[in-house]
Amino acid sequence: MLKKSALATAVAGLALCAPATAGNPLFSDIFTADPAALVDNNRVYLYVGHDEAKPEDKDYVLKEWRVYSSCDMKNWKAHGAPLNVQTFAWAKADAWAADITKRNGKYYFYATVEHKDKPGKAIGVAVSDSPTGPFKDARGSAIITNDMTKETDIAWDDIDPAVFTDKNGQAYLYWGNQVLKYVKLKPNMIEFEGPIRTVAVPHFTEASYLHRRGNTYYLSWSRHFPEETVYSTGPSATGPWTYRGLIMEKNANVNTIHHAIVDFNGKSYIFYHNAKLPGGAEFRRSVAVEELHYNADGTIRFVPQTDEGPAGNPAPGCQG
Ligand code: FUB
């Protein structure tokens, strides 16, 4: 029999050697989709749609966005659902894909919803003093509505906002389905400045994402359907874009793959969704994450999906 002090040491040792809690998919209690990520104060904040479709449902059932955070990419803390369709009084349904950024100490969350009065999807902006909320509608109206763009007749061509702020402080909103569009944002982040422009990238479906590494800008998106994640690079936030290739190949049992790319604690990561959680399907997806690597020439290495996910990467001061 172990003495009390020896037992305590053994238990402490067990805790140190305990396997990391989370692999992929990251969350097993609910279905999640459309990841957006923000790194702030040594934590990564993850915003996901909550897929509530039943197995027999034939369409998305998304009413709210859930928020999680981690300081080591392995252990995730749940922060509830501080954002939902009702955050926007002018919206009636469909908490589809979103993106978030921080500016001047405030957190701006750009989200796709179905508009009550103007047929089709629209994009709203919510704002908070904290990455975990509470959030409120920053404008009281949509920043983008379906009638502002005329390139396609479909009602869902104004979805999937991606917000990016350049070195000089100029912010951009990219979005779209079938046709990729962008607009410059004013420093207040809730109005646009100048015209809406379109961008021609090969086989664009949706889920554009813009990030920068050094002096290279990376524009990534979902192409084809079933979707795969591909990217171009360019010398500025608006191109010109040179197609570079595949980042992640299509999923086996869901057509979409929506991704987000961030740097956290010295490493780069790509969040995405698949349908690998038991019971998963087209409208019952699950968010996962992998480490993303750059080659010496700045190109992105193909990222295989794994069950393990990335290794633990505790940021300074990380305590769960
Ligand atoms: O979740 C609804 C829609 O499916 C998103 O807006 C798209 O990116 C696709 O993932």
61 CA to centre of ligand 1 in angstroms: 11
The whole-chain average pLDDT of the chain stands at: 94
Tell me the domains of the chain and their CATH numbers: 35-292 (2.115.10.20)
Using pLDDT thresholds of 50, 70 and 90, give the confidence band for residue 21.
Answer: low
Is the pLDDT reported for residue 16 higher than 50?
no
Single-letter residue type at 58: K
Residue 62 CA, closest ligand 1 atom number: 1
Is the pLDDT reported for residue 153 higher than 90?
yes
Mean pLDDT of 134-161: 98
Give the N- to C-terminal CA distance of the chain in Å, as an integer: 33
Task: Write the pLDDT tens digit of every residue in 280-290.
Answer: 999 999 999 99
Q: For residue 31, which of 60, 74, 8, 2 has the smallest C-alpha distance?
A: 60
Q: What per-residue confidence (pLDDT) applies to 190? A: 98
Pocket test for ligand 1, best of 256, 257, 273, 287 (most atoms within 8 A of CB): 256
Tell me which residue has its CA closest to atom 1 in ligand 1.
96
% of the chain exceeding 90 in pLDDT: 92
Mean pLDDT of 91-107: 98
Helix (H) or strand (E) holding 164: strand 162-165
Q: How far apart are CA 289 and CA 82, in angstroms?
A: 22
Q: pTM value?
A: 0.93
Q: How far apart are CA 232 and CA 75, in angstroms?
A: 32
Helix (H) or strand (E) holding 272: strand 267-274
Burial code (b: 16+ CB inside 10 Å, e: under 16) for 29-60 equals: eebbbbbbbbbeeebbbbbbbbbbbeeeeeeb
Q: Which stretches of 168-260 are DSSP H helices?
A: none
Comparing 144 with 12, the larger pLDDT belongs to 144
Name every protein residue with a CB atom under 6 angstroms from any ligand 1 atom: 33-34, 49, 60, 62, 96-97, 112, 159-160, 206-207, 256, 258
Tell me which residue has its CA closest to atom 3 in ligand 1.
96
Single-letter residue type at 292: L
Q: Which long-range contacts (CB under 8 A, 24 or more apart) does 60-65 make?
A: 60/94, 60/96, 60/283, 61/283, 62/33, 62/94, 62/95, 62/96, 63/93, 63/95, 64/95, 65/95, 65/98, 65/109, 65/111
